[in-house]
Structure 1
Amino acid sequence: MMDRDEMDMLAAEYVLGTLDPAQRQSVAARRLAEPDLDALIADWEKRLSPLNSEYVAVPPSPNLFAHIRRKIEETGKRAGDGIDNIVQITMLKRKLAMWRAAAIGAGAIAASLVITVFASNSVYPPQQDRQFVAVFHRDDTQPAFVMSVDMDSQEVTIRPIDASTPVGKTYQLWIVTDQTGPQPKSLGLLENIASPTVKQLGQFDPAMLRNATFGISLEPEGGSPTGLPTGPAIHGRLISIEH
């Protein structure tokens, strides 16, 4: 259970717009049932809203995002199908996401967040592609793992890129979707990170998998003793590799 400081930080991130879509949806649901969290969010909105008066709204060029996306896709076509090239494309997309979040926060902090969520859904409709990857970064340099998902076979393959296992520890794969609820669900252990690990996702709805958050945590040998992540974790979201 969160203490007061952790809940306050979560409320601040919610108002600033730094949470990913799945986390934001989870907090929005929680504030309906948790008055303390709702009060903290309202307090942050009140404290930060005066900042809007310090800025003049400067809308980006209508073609700016389309231009950035086109550059990313051109990079992808040149890169081919190699894992190293997928990593490069993913890092470009992460930088685009960070730029968009900063631009939104400097405009209208509270009100624009809601608008942005709905606008994003209308501009970028749900992907219907079948091949996806997720890249797990410790930071903005070399990734630790790359995961590929085939929606037709419901097969997931986790490939180590720059990962080592401390003595007495093991890596464990997790997923959070609308289907599983706000708590992570274990997808099993990565028994041998010297080679790819293959697992099945047959019990999940493919439409929900596209919007799922995946995590890899460092756990004691045999896996988490609590049924939830207990050690340091890195996270990834699926991106299509068919465009």
Structure 2
Amino acid sequence: MTDRDDIDMLAAEYVLGTLDPTQRKSVVARRMNEPDLDAAIADWEQRLAPLNTYYGAIVPSENLFASIRSKIDAIGKSTIDQIPSLAEFARMKRNLAAWRAGALGAGAIAASLIIAVLATDIASPVQSGQFVAVFHRDDTQPAFVMSVDIDTREVTIRPIEASMPEGKIYQLWIVTEQTGPKPKSLGLLENIAQPTKKQLGQFDPAMLRNATFGISLEPEGGSPTGQPTGPAIHGRLISVEH
């Protein structure tokens, strides 16, 4: 890893609030004398600013961290042996104490969660064409996070805070200029205990950047009408380019 990569990673951790108080104080002092670090911090602040549109300013509940820890434990016990791609949750648990110091609001907590979930897939510097979308209702924790590689048009949908009611299934949708005003089904999310991958080779990459994605709750087997029939949550792509 180059010095530039080190600076960029440190700036990202500073903006996300994942540094402990001592590390954060050190970065504050360094950015006064290191223009490259200061510029990297400003760049990350601008890059992640769109995430703020999803969250209002709220005070986290007293049992928020206990709830997160409990859910991480449950996920780890039931799926970690079978789903290596969820190993990042174990690392997220170890970093929980550091996040407590740095996270001052629900927006920062959610942003940290998103980056932690994506950490395994983008351990090397992110290439151009990488995007994410967050799906959640109101001020709740995200239900799903979706990553999209525009170049390969591969989509990965990861469950975060989603549960599957009995007799129901989640279905993924897309709306673009290419598909017209009606949502087009991208298939079912049959197992929300692990990530689901989809290929969007039939879509133009430029249109994918401006697409609206939706996840609806449908009867078993999927929508009977070819259109969303149950409660739906929506997300748009946000670039995570370096």
The separation in 1 between residues aligned to 2:12 and 2:130, in whole angstroms, is 18
Equivalent pair of 1:160/1:196 in contact (CA under 8 Å): yes
Match of 2:237 in 1: 238
Measured at CA, do residues 77 and 215 of structure 1 come closer, stay the same or move farther in structure 2, by a change above 3 Å?
Answer: farther
Task: Tell me, in whole angstroms, the C-alpha distance in 2 between the residues paired with 1:129 and 1:93.
Answer: 23
Alignment partners' CA distance in 2, 1:177 and 1:153: 18
Q: Provide the rounded CA distance (Å) in 1 between the counterparts of 2:204 and 2:14.
A: 29
Q: Which amino acid aligns with 1:151?
A: I
Matches within 5 A, 1:1-243: 78-79=15-16, 91-94=51-54, 129-243=128-242
Q: Assess if the C-alpha contact under 8 Å between 2:174 and 2:186 holds in 1.
A: yes
Unaligned runs of 5+ in 2: 1-10, 19-47, 57-126
RMSD across aligned positions (CA): 2.5
User: How far does residue 93 in structure 1 lie from its aligned partner after superposition?
Assistant: 3.7
Deviations, residues 59-81 of structure 1 (Å, cap 9, x unaligned)? xxxxxxxxxxxxxxx66764399
Q: Deviation digits for residues 32-70 of structure 1, max 9, x if unmatched?
A: xxxxxxxxxxxxxxxxxxxxxxxxxxxxxxxxxxxxxxx
Q: Indicate how the Cα distance of structure 1 residues 152 and 232 shifts in structure 2: closer, same or farther if over 3 A, else same.
A: same
Q: 1:182–1:91: structure 2 CA closer, same or farther, 3 Å change rule?
A: same
**Distance change >3 Å, CA 147–CA 215, structure 1 → 2:** same
| 1:174/1:75 CA distance change after superposition, 3 Å | same
Q: Residues 207 and 166 (structure 1 numbering): CA distance in 2 closer, same or farther, change over 3 Å?
A: same
User: Structure 1: which amino acid aligns with 2:52?
Assistant: L
Deviations 1:84-139 (A, max 9, x none): xxxx865414359xxxxxxxxxxxxxxxxxxxxxxxxxxxxxxx940000000111
In 1, Cα distance between equivalents of 2:181 and 2:157: 23
Partner in structure 2 of residue 99 of structure 1? none
Identity of aligned residues (%): 77
CA gap 1:211/1:77 in 2 versus in 1, 3 angstroms: farther
Residues 55 and 139 in structure 2, CA contact (< 8 A), matched pair in contact too: no
Taking the aligned partners of 1:89 and 1:130, their CA distance within structure 2 comes to 18
Post-superposition offset of 1:186: 0.1
TM-score, normalised relative to structure 1: 0.51
- Code of the residue aligned with 1:92 in structure 2: it is N
Give the equivalent residue in structure 1 for 2:116.
Answer: none
Note closer, same or farther for the CA distance 1:76–1:177 as it changes in structure 2 (3 Å cut): farther
Q: CA deviation at 1:152?
A: 1.4
TM superposition score normalised by structure 2: 0.51
Distance, in Å, in 2 between the alignment partners of 1:76 and 1:207 is 30
One-letter code of the match for 1:94? Y
Distance 1:176 1:187 in 2: 10
Relative to structure 1, the CA distance from residue 77 to residue 179 in structure 2 (aligned partners, 3 Å threshold; closer, same or farther) is farther
What is the one-letter code of the residue matched to 1:194? A
Structure 1, unmatched stretches of 5+, are 1-73, 82-87, 97-127
Q: Write the distance in 1 (CA, Å) between the matches of 2:146 and 2:176.
A: 17
- Aligned twin of 2:96: none
Native 8 Å contact 2:133 2:147 kept in 1: yes
Compared CA separation, residues 140 and 89, structure 1 to 2 (3 A):
farther
- Tell me, yes or no, if the aligned pair for 2:133 and 2:145 is still in contact at 8 Å: yes
Aligned match of 1:104 = none
Amino acid at match of 1:79: L
